[in-house]
Amino acid sequence: MLSHSLDGLSSKSRALKVLLAEPRGFCAGVDRAIRVVEEALRRYGAPVYVRHEIVHNRTVVENLEKKGAIFVEELDEVPQDAHVVFSAHGVPKTVPLEAERRNLLYLDATCPLVSKVHREAEQHFADGGSECRHILMIGHAGHPEVVGTMGQLPLGAVTLIKDAQEAKTVHPENPDRLAFITQTTLSVNDTAEIVAILRERFPKIEGPRRENICYATTNRQEAVKRIAPECDLVFVIGSPNSSNSQRLREVAERSGAPKAILVPKLENLDWAVLKGVNVLGITAGASAPESLVQEMLKALSQKFTLDIEERIVKKEHVTFSLPSLLGR
């Protein structure tokens, strides 16, 4: 809580260097998903139902709830003939089929880069000819994106590979008829290690034409790698259930920061962690709004004399259009 001030931190006499990683915060897929819900509310009026958190950030969810969105985990919580939005993480094929059966008007806010992985999985599976290729998916068990991607293919067609150890021990039925895909929000380095193991064990394995880890995940990890060695502490603004935010925290520590912590909201911060910190790094996960970063900087400026430096690794200019049902 803000009241958790430490003796000496309330004075602005102490200088604090802040390194701001850029890119940080919202990616194009997150921005599109939020716009889908907002436009649906504008066109159809409240309530609009959203299956699962539209993106993994409580601030975003709470702001949309104030506008009339109702978040549910499954379609059986949605009234007949209602409007429903599928989250940016994607859904198994059974979900739109169930929505159609129940006469729900649905809008798919799945990130186009996640949809690309869905299509690649289907193509690899079908291109196996008379004997379909088995798919190895690198990702985190239970994550909505993984559940949605595996749900594009028949049960048993995909095996989840969670880490390097599983890559070393997986025993597919036909090692010569394999392909791999990955979750879009993984650690770039960890995934490269797993892919290298799979390629060594299964030389004929097919992979994506382009890397599945999305541009936003890659760019944010690269940006935090650049600042981490200079920092005493790194704040990652993001929610605990956000895969890309968790990966940023891990990458910061592996890249030289003595400590990195996840900060979902300003009120979650124990200010005692800043004792002895002279250089603070700040980044934000792809589902965290920039307003949370600015709120953090404002609070810090009330306790320290700040020297803020933004480190820009790359400028992003990616945008995605809204679903055709919304007319853009």
Which positions are catalytic?
145
Establish how many alpha carbons lie within 13 A of residue 4's alpha carbon, considering only the half-sphere containing its beta carbon: 11
Does residue 307 come out as left (phi exceeding 0), alpha (psi in the -120 to 50 range) or beta? beta
By CB atoms closer than 10 A (0-12, 13-18, 19+), residue 210 is exposed
Please state, in angstroms and as integers, the Cα–Cα distance from residue 52 to each residue in 116, 153, 167, 215, 239, following that order: 20, 21, 30, 24, 15
The three-state (H, E, C) secondary structure of 77-132, written as one string: HCCCCCEEEECCCCCCCHHHHHHHHCCCEEEECCCHHHHHHHHHHHHHHHCCCCCC
Cα 127 to Cα 177: distance, rounded to the nearest angstrom: 10
* Beta strand segments in the chain, E: 15-22, 48-51, 69-72, 83-86, 105-108, 134-138, 158-161, 178-182, 233-237, 260-263, 279-284, 305-312
Amino acid at residue number 46:
A
State the amino acid at position 117 in one-letter form.
Answer: V
Using a CB cutoff of 8 Å and minimum separation of 24, what contacts does 204-207 make?
Answer: 204/175, 204/176, 204/177, 204/178, 205/136, 205/178, 205/179, 205/180, 206/124, 206/127, 206/133, 206/178, 206/179, 206/180, 207/179, 207/180
Could you tell me the two tokens for 316? Answer: 């992003």
